[in-house]
Structure 1
């Protein structure tokens, strides 16, 4: 029976390797997790041998370490250091080139990217983050052409999480740990009694790819085992956050003393925004050749934590760290709903892990919730 959307098949490691080969033969570059410089990063991979076999991670506020697992799991870790955002909203890209000629100015837009990519090991929170960026950068009245072009060419192999980190809270945000949609194939890794991969088919492209791979029908026992993996993960989240009426909670507490407390600790280094899979702030730079005949406008990642990002004529509108952290957190968790109809946070926990001083966004929400309106009481 041919694979079709909504059904599952089971692969062994050889079958997973065959799937990767089929993707490469289909003209796709594989981008997935591998170990580099004592971290799990997303980069170009060639196959199963490049995956972090038997490697797990430890994540806590301001803390990240790899650890050796007692098994040979290929996806036995939480989210990698970076997100797939770097592949879609790339850190730096040319927007336009202007050249002066004898007949006048010649304006040239760079060619649209032509790069067919398969994302390997995309977690449910990452899929949610891509969906958020789709709304911001692709689906509005003024689509970002570079993002839209890259987005249209990706094939998504999701992985349902089995080992949440100490900073994960996707269950609280309703974005995981199971991938519900937005994938071509979704893998759940089973380690006992055999090392197998239950693969759910999410698109016709996914079904077509699996037709090229030898697979077995998923048994009821394998289906139950896969469901248990996700259920156990949900119970072992490292963090939780109460999202009840969170928009109004934050918007109505803009003068809460907790903002002063967090400002005393925050370095305004922008690590949280650069690690975040949904932050989309960018700036533009203009450069000119020494002879003045060529000029290039380039877009690069920026952050609402930098002083210049909020600069208007006459000065910055958020000169204090307090103001910049408050802007980031209230936008992410509150006013993002007003702009885009969802939260801007997917609960991946990167902002907690990669904060040098260990600021925990879930604890900041909890602190305000414990004593809302504290600033008004003090007046």
Structure 2
């Protein structure tokens, strides 16, 4: 669902922007009535928030990541996008965690007035979308608008959103986008793509347009032709990032692996550690499940219905008159992982994982989706090999 059709000469629009050009980009987007969302340093994290100017970008900040661990750190240069995925994703803006659907008020005559809620019309511009998160947005598009049951509120927020992808040159310790085929290079679907280059010749961005609107905005910015050195450095930095992924998935058919290991002993191991807190589903850029809750005021004359994110780790997620279908932590973790890597294909013709690593970072006990996949694969191999012959 790009904001415009791709021009036939999109590849020829490559140019170089200095940091001042990024400032001009933010000003131009705001002048066109767009709400610019991008990364900024706040409360000890790189978070996504509305930007009034490019000065709010996290220049000079990086991150340290590991399972259950996240810290920001000062860099020795002024790079703005040399950090991995933070606690939020663009899902927070396109598919917000809590939305009021309607209100109802009792009239003096005993009747009831019900008012449906519509999202505030917002023209988003997302600055700093990682390639893995671009793929996550495309997956959410398929889930929310690609079938018979369309989410009109999502479609209103998503339609016309201007996407500025920044290719990854410094993957985090929990990144595995190469295994999922989602990065670190930008794939089609962006309006503008940037590759940040910081070297002895300066700080700059290789910029390319992917749509007509992207080309139109790029043409109005202070820029210069793309030189061979910048093109080469940008390409080499992205290629080097592909070789420095902190994690990998086993090189097997993950869909088949999960389908064939439903009774694996490994599920007991992870169940002993999993808190079923649902942090992984909240941080995941593709998890989409919701529930509704109705609330009233103390008088009983005013009621509201809210839609909020729900997690398959919640005991009541599968509650039926006879009780919960998945009553154990083992079954709930298995449901999440097998859906994310396996049965998502049956529903939506793709994997539900983009390799961003957020579920690893924000798990309180550092459960690692890639470690679990490798362990299931090894257990499958061991089972196929049969018992070891320990005869002396």
Q: 3-state DSSP class of the match of 1:290? A: coil
What root-mean-square deviation, in Å, do the aligned CA atoms of Structure 1 and Structure 2 show?
1.8
Distance across 1 between alignment mates of 2:215 and 2:345: 35
Aligned residues: 377
TM-score normalised to structure 1 length:
0.96
Q: How does 1:231-270 map to 2 (within 5 A)?
A: 231-270=239-278
- Alignment counterpart, residue 306 of structure 1, candidates 314, 317, 323: 314
Task: Output one character per residue of 1:41-63: Cα deviation in whole Å (capped at 9) or x when no partner.
Answer: 11111222111111111111111
Distance across 1 between alignment mates of 2:383 and 2:233: 50
- Cα deviation, residue 374, structure 1: 6.5
Q: How does 1:27-106 map to 2 (within 5 A)?
A: 27-101=33-107, 102=109, 104-106=111-113
Task: Output one character per residue of 1:304-362: Cα deviation in whole Å (capped at 9) or x when no partner.
Answer: 01111111122111000000000000000000001000000000000001111111110
- Alignment counterpart, residue 230 of structure 2, candidates 219, 222, 226: 222
Cross-structure match for 2:3 = none
Q: 3-state DSSP class of the match of 2:237? A: helix
Task: Output one character per residue of 1:254-274: Cα deviation in whole Å (capped at 9) or x when no partner.
Answer: 110000000000111111110
Distance across 1 between alignment mates of 2:304 and 2:249: 44
Cross-structure match for 2:195 = 188
- Paired residues of 2:57 and 2:80 also in contact (CA < 8 A): yes
Q: How does 1:131-170 map to 2 (within 5 A)?
A: 131-170=138-177
Cross-structure match for 1:113 = 120
Task: Output one character per residue of 1:262-298: Cα deviation in whole Å (capped at 9) or x when no partner.
Answer: 0000111111110000001111001123333332111
- Cα deviation, residue 103, structure 1: 7.4
Gaps of 5+ in 2: 1-6, 388-392
- Alignment counterpart, residue 175 of structure 1, candidates 171, 176, 182: 182
- Paired residues of 2:101 and 2:118 also in contact (CA < 8 A): no
- Paired residues of 1:257 and 1:375 also in contact (CA < 8 A): no
- Alignment counterpart, residue 372 of structure 1, candidates 375, 380, 385: 380
Distance across 1 between alignment mates of 2:383 and 2:301: 57
- Alignment counterpart, residue 5 of structure 1, candidates 1, 4, 10: 10
Q: 3-state DSSP class of the match of 1:191? A: strand
- Cα deviation, residue 375, structure 1: 7.7
- Paired residues of 2:264 and 2:379 also in contact (CA < 8 A): no
- Paired residues of 1:29 and 1:118 also in contact (CA < 8 A): yes
Q: 3-state DSSP class of the match of 1:70? A: coil
- Paired residues of 2:126 and 2:162 also in contact (CA < 8 A): yes
Gaps of 5+ in 1: none
TM-score normalised to structure 2 length:
0.93
Q: 3-state DSSP class of the match of 1:372? A: helix
Distance across 2 between alignment mates of 1:88 and 1:374: 43
- Cα deviation, residue 107, structure 1: 2.8
- Paired residues of 1:253 and 1:373 also in contact (CA < 8 A): no
Distance across 2 between alignment mates of 1:161 and 1:318: 38
Q: How does 1:272-291 map to 2 (within 5 A)?
A: 272-291=280-299
